[in-house]
Structure 1
């Protein structure tokens, strides 16, 4: 019995994601020793970002260009043909130069050169330029280090199925065949688990599943992750998905995967597997009630087997989790409550043990708390424990603007190694905050951020543009607040806006009139849709909100350095910690 766990593209390349190490640790703890975990996202990036691969692509792009010229001379070409041709010509012109730079750029991000801002920016831009020109082979599809984009909608099963067999435009189909598939099949896995946690992973993840299934029909392929957890009812109605995979594990996966291993190895009685969606006699079954893990019985995550040296960072930043779910769970725009059935904490002493073990085993002091929002009491206890144990770590995590987050708590957090906090500000207008049901007061927001500045904790602010009824003036109020000169001048300050989108099963969809909405509409032909169109009675229309969003982006881009601080991920943590270390006498 061999279990193979895969994390597909596209995801941020600076640190591993927590899902596979958590599942790997649990399976190994419970007597399943033969578990292999692979981050296909970072493996594939490492292969693409080499001079050898670039030159191989160069020849393929040159051949493609000659083929187009022979079959459709430019004078007869459609506008689409002309655009494709221009993309290929640009790639042919740019690729030889970029190929000579790409390995140096990748190495810079893995070395001390990462901390030299100009070299960092140049390296990130080089990598994205390389990926853009390589993508010309699959025009109009494109990819960056963080994302991929195809003309196929990831919200339509029909378009997904078309993408899976499209060798012309599916970037990942031939990449997997050339570089990944053989090594996967060599392992002869009994179970293949693929984690799909963002929409950018849907087509890459299902492409990989289909390729494996075509070559090894006996392998049981199961899909986990938050995307399909939000699509339980949709999955039930789309039989075609089960021609690609055998099952889906929704919500949490530890006990579900363990029992799946037992049933695949034994009686194949899949109704015993918690949280499983599967086909039985041509009927889709959903195993309820859904199982919720006891966080205090889970082992320390196990990163063995992941290629930590391949990530685009000079040191490993490891994710850990102090809780699951959101303890607040009332924000009108949010559907993250669907990812977990309820809120639970891991006991601080267990978390401290996790940090100590991981720090020692993987030789790193850097940790990222992946919680939706860490409760203040948990922060206080963790900080106290880190200080008492004299654990020299540097960490960051997400928090809410709570009254309990006072000077004493923040000071203790900073002393324990907290370098940066991630806040969901969303708006600085009190009316909008109240309508969002954020449960925060604008004056309290200002006080907490001022305390962070005094103490030396950097912060990242998420804001939302275009929440229903928000006016242009109210959006400008939020923009004015985040462009505070004190914040802009503080080391590590970052801000990332998002355009409001009405997400499936968020509270706002249950009572649209309460939020000034005339109507909400599910997009046509989206049987895997995760959101809605809407019409407003007042405030900015969706089109006006879009224009305001682009204006906010332009203003932030002018005032804020986009790299590396404008990430809520590990890049910012490493920069801040390095800068503070350099300033020490």
Structure 2
């Protein structure tokens, strides 16, 4: 039993096959996520539901949205929306009644309306052919395609003024704060800025009308998906009140205390929320909807009954080795913005280290780390390879355990599986043999993502990472020598870190640039479920909670003593790094999966063609969209310690 009063259970008794009632279930993955590969949540849920006999329609609305955006049909539709908004503003200007804000909107609309939409649409359609075909591997053509997508997104944004819709990285902003419930509810009904209302009308509701599911599940993995996911929920409930709408995902679990305080979400937006892992909880919820078990018996569940929000006291965690193979059937595997199929795979749940004081990813799971044997992993990867004709895999684990890393690599080589893969990994003393890295490369490992966080050992010990600087350096050199691309993530401003210690991280990165192929520097953010926020005095910080932020995922903090750099200092150091030091790492091929495929194609981590270059031959960060271009806060974690979350992983549930 946990301190929260929740009780872990082994599971509910299965219903006999002859007594089962089967349903049609629709699973939706909302924007915004990188459109380069499926997210693992839906296939993981689908496999369990289909195994139980339910009919499942799974829809990745994220990739469908981007595919839809970059079409002649949609861009001409946007042109019409621009004209409809522009005409009344021009009339108001003639009447002398135009406000300053309306004048700003009119200027944006006029600029967009003057764009040759037919040319933009043709270039956008060709850009999709580039990212899905052999021209992808010509870096100049790929860069041109990505810039065309950004140009189209800017054009679309004008029609939803003042929203800013961005292709990649995921930084779209509708002008409402997702941490403020009052603004969330306002955004859901805002026809002007909420582009997801039109996406729902055009892509989601027609499908719901056609399929007529009993239950719709929407997986919301990150805060960036919150507005889109909740918009879909509300519009589906309004149009189809008899359909049961249930939400799940990492961010839903993180906000579980807040959902209970806002009954309105359960009466207006969705019917139920599944916390923690969702495969069997969703199955049992469907059975409860079908009247085959009491709703109150379903673990991991929040729902509305008897005029109040109810929460199950029981929690179920999945037995990873007993789960069926993720089922990707029905997803548009050839529509992602890559020329080769890429599939995510998860061998472990949770983090085997699980001690970092800045990290709250464990909040998405109820219990500790679990994993499968290397043999099981390789058998499942081989089965996925054969079933979906796919040879590129994202191993989406929080941090790949060293023993599993070695064993899986050996089995992949011994069985000649012939795949390429990438994953997140810790710097480890047990990985200081060059033969380990050579074996991983031979097994198909192309790129690795490391959460270095700091190069100062005192600060690393404060974080409870306990990595040695010499080990970090050795791992990087050995992996690079084996031909693996090293992506390093670090951040400034851990409470107590001095300016000199922060600059030690900067200097380490610069000095080791030949073996650090891409880099991200963030600033520290106090995420709400971290050990630091739970014990602020221990770390010398004061947490400042603001009443209006009633859906918080992080908090503003200040240092109790003037020791170390402040949050603002850390942000400034980040800005200085990207302004002054980032040039050697500025790339024009800017997503993890794109770099992964380049290394797979060309067989080397020396890829000068993907870096931006100035006229004198030097690289530059100016105007370049880097692997992730601008400082993102560390600590978030749906995919590898959530500061990496927008870059890397594929959580489940």
> 1:260 Cα shift?
1.1
> Are 1:43 and 2:43 an aligned pair?
no
Corresponding residue for 1:166?
190
Cα distance between partner residues in 2 of 1:126 and 1:391: 37
Aligned counterpart in structure 1 of residue 365 of structure 2, from 340, 345, 353: 340
Corresponding residue for 2:518?
494
More helix per residue: 1
Cα distance between partner residues in 2 of 1:452 and 1:95: 48
> Are 1:52 and 2:73 an aligned pair?
yes
> Are 1:449 and 2:479 an aligned pair?
no
Aligned counterpart in structure 1 of residue 596 of structure 2, from 573, 578, 584: 573
> Are 1:377 and 2:399 an aligned pair?
no
Kept in 2: contact 1:54–1:95 (CA 8 A): no
**Cα pair distance change 1:452/1:100, threshold 3 Å:** same
> Are 1:530 and 2:556 an aligned pair?
no
**Cα pair distance change 1:117/1:74, threshold 3 Å:** farther
Cα distance between partner residues in 1 of 2:236 and 2:521: 38
Aligned counterpart in structure 1 of residue 491 of structure 2, from 450, 464, 489: 464
Deviations 1:218-266 (A, max 9, x none): 1111001000101111111110000210100010011101111111112
Corresponding residue for 2:391?
365
Cα distance between partner residues in 2 of 1:190 and 1:270: 16
Corresponding residue for 1:479?
506
Corresponding residue for 1:87?
108
Cα RMSD (Å): 1.8
> 1:506 Cα shift?
0.4
> 1:72 Cα shift?
4.2
Cα distance between partner residues in 1 of 2:599 and 2:104: 43
Cα distance between partner residues in 1 of 2:88 and 2:122: 26
Aligned counterpart in structure 2 of residue 309 of structure 1, from 322, 334, 338: 334
Aligned counterpart in structure 2 of residue 253 of structure 1, from 268, 271, 278: 278
SS of residue paired to 2:159: helix
**Cα pair distance change 1:356/1:544, threshold 3 Å:** same
Corresponding residue for 1:414?
441
Cα distance between partner residues in 2 of 1:22 and 1:446: 37
> Are 1:514 and 2:533 an aligned pair?
no
Q: How many residues align?
A: 576
Q: TM-score, normalised by structure 1?
A: 0.95
Aligned counterpart in structure 1 of residue 255 of structure 2, from 225, 231, 255: 231
Cα distance between partner residues in 1 of 2:605 and 2:260: 55
> 1:561 Cα shift?
3.0
Cα distance between partner residues in 1 of 2:468 and 2:37: 34
SS of residue paired to 1:577: helix
Kept in 1: contact 2:266–2:309 (CA 8 A): no
> Are 1:66 and 2:91 an aligned pair?
no
> 1:448 Cα shift?
0.7
In structure 2, the gaps of 5 or more residues are 1-22, 607-653
SS of residue paired to 1:94: coil
**Cα pair distance change 1:562/1:77, threshold 3 Å:** farther
Cα distance between partner residues in 2 of 1:562 and 1:392: 28
Cα distance between partner residues in 1 of 2:578 and 2:185: 35
Q: TM-score, normalised by structure 2?
A: 0.85
Corresponding residue for 2:42?
20
Kept in 2: contact 1:401–1:440 (CA 8 A): yes
Cα distance between partner residues in 2 of 1:347 and 1:75: 73
Kept in 1: contact 2:61–2:203 (CA 8 A): no
Kept in 1: contact 2:29–2:219 (CA 8 A): yes
Q: What are the equivalent positions in structure 2 for 1:68-467 lying under 5 Å apart?
A: 68-73=89-94, 76-96=97-117, 97-146=119-168, 147=170, 148-243=172-267, 244-267=269-292, 269-341=294-366, 342-407=368-433, 408-467=435-494
